[in-house]
Amino acid sequence: MNKKGFIFDLDGVIVDTAKYHFLAWRKLANTIGVDFTEVQNEQLKGVSRVRSLQKILAWGKKSISEEQFAQLMGMKNEDYLSYIDGMGQDEILPDVSRILDCLIEKNQPISLGSASKNARIILEKVALRDKFDAIVDGNDVSNAKPDPEVFLMAAKSLNIAADKCVVFEDSVAGVEAANVADMISIGIGDAEILHEADYVFNDFTEISTQFIEELINKK
């Protein structure tokens, strides 16, 4: 059987931690007198922690010392981790497990490709760690999405050529990264926001086994 490398983003694709990032960033921003909307939050999805805080500061036209920057990042992560702590298998997004099992059954290599430095903790929390052949996350890369580094590294870990990889992504930055890497990009979310993706589905319940088979057999 043909083989493709299947690369999954984490936040917003496997689990809905995007909502926790939003809550934690907004609370943090409010402590320095900055607020932002859910629409602006789209720009924080898939983006690294450092880049997220830079964007929030730019929105609020704030400039702070390096020391304060590090302190704020620490505060945000602590708050975010308090949400993560309560996570369990019930937070796996609908039909993610079905698709992972379908790929495993078809002997397709699977990697995580996440910007998050908390990715491993989250996968353990929701008991999905064993489904992945490789994990590439924010601790492994030096360039954040939309740079394709995280996905190229994932392809390499799976020993599959980049143009034989399929990426599931919920963020604009991630879809762009997958496209730059010459991979098949599958947006999970709003088709208007993710219009640059090769395919878009609202969630995994819309993805059929037949579609997965077509991807595997694609030239």
Both structure tokens of 71: 């302190």
Within 8 A by CB and 6+ apart from 69, the residues are 53
- The interface partner of residue 138, options being Mg ion, ligand B16, none and the CB cut-off 5 to 8 Å by kind, is ligand B16
Site for Mg ion, residues 129 to 188, rule: CB under 5 A: 170-171
Which residue's CB is nearer to ligand B16, number 116 or number 157? 116
Looking at residues 6 to 25 of the shown chain, list those that interact with ligand B16 (rule: CB under 6 A).
Answer: 9-12, 18, 21
- As a whole number of angstroms, the distance between CA 32 and CA 75 comes to 12
What amino acid occupies position 144? A
C-alpha torsion sign, points 168, 174, 179, 183: negative
Enter the tokens of residue 69.
Answer: 């920057």
Q: What is the Cα Rg of the chain in Å?
A: 17
* Residue 47 contact, options Mg ion, ligand B16, none, Cβ 5-8 Å cut-off depending on partner type: ligand B16
Binding-site size, ligand B16 (CB under 6 A) = 21
SS3 11: strand
CB distance 78 to 204 below 8 Å: no
Please state, in angstroms and rounded to a whole number, the distance separating the CA atoms of residues 173 and 156: 21
Which of the stretches 5-13, 59-67, 102-110, 202-210 binds ligand B16 when contact is defined by CB under 6 A?
5-13
- Is 18 within 8 Å of 120 (Cβ atoms)? no
Is 9 catalytic? The answer is: yes
Among 5, 46, 109, 189, binds ligand B16 (CB under 6 A): 46
The residues in 56-75 that bind Mg ion, with binding defined as CB under 5 A, are: none
Binding residues among 26-55 for Mg ion as defined by CB under 5 A:
46
How many Cα neighbours within 13 Å face the side chain of 27? 14
* Active-site pick, 9, 137, 147, 170: 9
Residue 55 token pair: 């964007």
* Binding residue for ligand B16, selected from 115, 128, 154, 175, defined by CB under 6 A: 115
Element (H, E) at 40: helix 38-41
The item of ligand B16, Mg ion, none sharing an interface with residue 42, based on CB under 5 to 8 Å by kind, is none
153 contact choice in ligand B16, Mg ion, none (CB below 5 to 8 Å, kind-dependent)? none
CB of 70 to ligand B16, least distance (A): 13
- The nearer residue to ligand B16, 48 or 179, going by C-beta atoms, is 48
Q: How far is the CB of 18 from ligand B16 (least distance, A)?
A: 6
